[in-house]
């Protein structure tokens, strides 16, 4: 076993880590900015603007200008621009840039309302990455997550009406698939590809509320 690791695992691990540390993140996907915004997206941004004027980050006249722009906005990119100077990136109500995730010895998470491109690179070295897709906007009915995981865990949290396929390769890597397989016909597909070295891929979906003996669902 030790001999096999020296011949195959160690060189592959060195090559993978070298590639990760030498790589740069691709430019944001322009098409994600042009996706049409929904009323729910506008409500998310409006809540941030309301909080900003309440605590003094925006003057009343600035708030009025941004609210007017909010209701004129047609795309996610136009909405996202209204809050970029109000919150740090990880707290933004919308994340429409489509940038990939790179976690190198520091955990990263994508959650809330964010746009997932049809091909989404994820890198995790020594720290976990969590992709919460329950409120995400999938740009395609078949999303490919291109994973490079070294000594870390990639966790996908998905709604129950999607299908997850994990087809990764590597050494000393594990897969834990806790997503129901009874997705409806035509359901979106999340496929995880790439290389896992001494790490794990975990896919899970929220459990449905249990029905009580009185016929009501428990949360």
- 131 and 70 part of one domain: no
- 57 and 156 part of one domain: no
**pLDDT tens column, 30-60:** 566 778 888 888 998 999 999 999 999 999 9
Q: Full-prediction pTM beyond 0.85?
A: no
- 104 and 198 part of one domain: yes
Three-state secondary-structure class, residue 30: helix
Could you tell me the residue range of the domain that residue 55 belongs to?
Answer: 30-97
- 127 and 105 part of one domain: yes
Query: Cα–Cα distance between 201 and 52 in angstroms, integer?
Result: 38
Average pLDDT across the chain, whole number: 82
- 42 and 126 part of one domain: no
Residue 90 DSSP one-character state: G
**pLDDT tens column, 128-137:** 999 999 988 8
The 10 Å Cβ neighbour count of residue 35 is 17
- 66 and 113 part of one domain: no
- Residue 37: the pLDDT is 84
Cβ-Cβ contacts under 8 Å for 17 (sequence gap 6 or more) = 125, 150
Q: How many domains does the chain have?
A: 2
Segment (H or E) for 133: none
């Amino acid at each position: 076993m030790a001999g096999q690791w020296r011949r195959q695992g160690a060189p592959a691990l060195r090559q993978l880590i070298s590639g990760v540390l030498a790589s740069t993140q691709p430019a944001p996907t322009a098409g994600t900015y042009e996706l049409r915004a929904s009323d729910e997206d506008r409500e998310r941004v409006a809540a941030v603007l309301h909080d900003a004027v309440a605590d003094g980050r925006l003057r009343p006249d600035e708030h009025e200008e941004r609210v007017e722009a909010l209701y004129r906005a047609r795309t996610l990119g136009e909405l996202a621009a209204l809050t970029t100077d109000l919150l740090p990136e990880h707290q933004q109500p919308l994340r429409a840039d489509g940038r990939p995730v790179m976690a190198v010895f520091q955990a990263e998470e994508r959650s809330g309302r964010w746009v997932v491109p049809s091909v989404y690179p994820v890198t995790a070295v020594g720290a976990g990455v969590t992709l919460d897709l329950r409120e995400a906007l999938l740009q395609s009915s078949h999303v490919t997550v291109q994973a490079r995981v070294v000594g870390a865990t990639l966790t996908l949290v998905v709604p129950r009406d999607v299908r997850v396929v994990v087809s990764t390769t590597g050494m000393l890597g594990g897969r834990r698939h806790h997503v129901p397989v009874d997705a409806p016909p035509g359901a979106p597909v999340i496929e995880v590809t790439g290389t896992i070295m001494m790490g794990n891929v975990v896919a899970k979906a929220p459990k449905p509320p249990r029905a009580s003996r009185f016929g009501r669902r428990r949360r």
